[in-house]
Structure 1
Amino acid sequence: MAILASDIEAMIRTGFPEAKITVMGDDGAHFSAEVIDESFRGMSRVAQQRAVNATVKSAIDSGALHALALTTKAPD
């Protein structure tokens, strides 16, 4: 069951509607994403990544998304 980068972006966008989101990867299971959002300001990197992972949890739990490497930060 392959998943598309656009699907992952849409899932992340549900939790971070104003974020700048870039998702890369084209093998259908392994992706990387950069999420830049104001809500991350003052949060630890671990908390930021947990928040993003929560938005894609259903895809991870179903096995559709095998790996998602994350880069998260507040805007400069």
Structure 2
Amino acid sequence: MPISAEEIETLIRARFPEAQIVVEGDDGAHFAAQVIDESFRGMNRVQQQRAVYAALKGKMDGAEGELHALALTTRAP
């Protein structure tokens, strides 16, 4: 079942309610997201991206995941 950019944003926003979030893509499987949040301050990029992937609650897990690819850009403001 395809996932939408809005669904991805909703999942990320639940974990990062104050973040600036932009999700692009419309094929149901391949997306790009930019997440800017104060909670990333002091984290390296791997830590930031792991936090965002955790917010996706398994949507990228395995071959049957709803979300096939997410190009992710994260940073603190």
TM-score by length of 1: 0.94
Q: List structure 1 runs of 4+ shifted beyond 3 angstroms.
A: none
- Which of the two has greater helix per residue? 1
Aligned to 2:73: 71
Letter in 2 for 1:34: Q
The Cα offsets for residues 8-39 of structure 1, whole Å up to 9 and x where unpaired, read as: 00000111000000000000000010000000
Q: Are residues 1:26 and 2:26 paired? A: yes
Q: How does 1:29-68 map to 2 (within 5 A)?
A: 29-61=29-61, 63-68=65-70
For this pair of structures, how many residues does the alignment match?
75
Identity of aligned residues (%): 68
Aligned to 1:11: 11
TM-score by length of 2: 0.93
- 5+ residue gaps, structure 2: none
- 5+ residue gaps, structure 1: none
Letter in 1 for 2:7: D
